[in-house]
């Protein structure tokens, strides 16, 4: 969970909206980070740090990640919090792996 979400959780819990806001913050953060993975993988391919085929594979995995995020969002909208959380957690695991892979491949000055 990102720093902002951790900071806001105690405040939101006072108003009884911790889960809703926490989920939505985590979901928004995951979508934003997914965009970053997409950009970093394109940059890594342009710089020759990864092959175009590898970049395409990362982009395909990123598209699957977004589908999982949409699925989590749908479950949340339907009121199925346990399923929504599980899907979001799985998405975040894949996201962290993708971020780590792409970041490791980029030169230090990126």
Q: Considering the domain boundaries, does residue 108 fall inside one? A: yes
**Per-residue pLDDT, 3:** 59
Q: What is the pLDDT of residue 110?
A: 44
CA 35, 24, 86, 83 torsion-angle sign: negative
Number of domains composing the chain? 1
Has residue 21 been placed in a domain?
no
54 within a domain of the structure (yes/no): yes
Domain extent, residue 98, equals 31-110
Q: What is the pLDDT of residue 1?
A: 46
Percentage of the chain beyond pLDDT 70 is 77
23 in a structural domain: no
Rounded CA-CA distance 95/11 in Å is 27
Q: Which portions of the chain are predicted below pLDDT 70?
A: 1-21, 107-110
Residues 6+ apart with CB under 8 A from 76: 23, 24, 27, 84
User: What predicted TM-score, i.e. pTM, was given to this entire model?
Assistant: 0.75
Tens digit of pLDDT for each residue in 40-70? 999 889 989 899 999 999 999 999 999 999 9
In a domain, 24, yes or no: no
């Amino acid at each position: 969970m990102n720093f902002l979400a951790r900071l806001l959780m105690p405040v939101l819990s006072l108003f009884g909206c911790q889960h809703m806001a926490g989920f939505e913050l985590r979901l928004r953060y995951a979508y934003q980070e997914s965009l970053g993975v997409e950009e970093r993988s394109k940059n890594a391919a342009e710089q020759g740090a990864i092959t175009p085929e590898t970049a395409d594979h990362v982009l395909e995995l990123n598209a699957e990640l977004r589908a999982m995020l949409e699925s989590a969002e749908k479950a949340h909208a339907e009121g199925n919090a346990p399923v929504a959380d599980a899907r979001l957690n799985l998405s975040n695991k894949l996201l962290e792996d993708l971020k780590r892979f792409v970041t490791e491949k980029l030169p230090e000055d990126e």
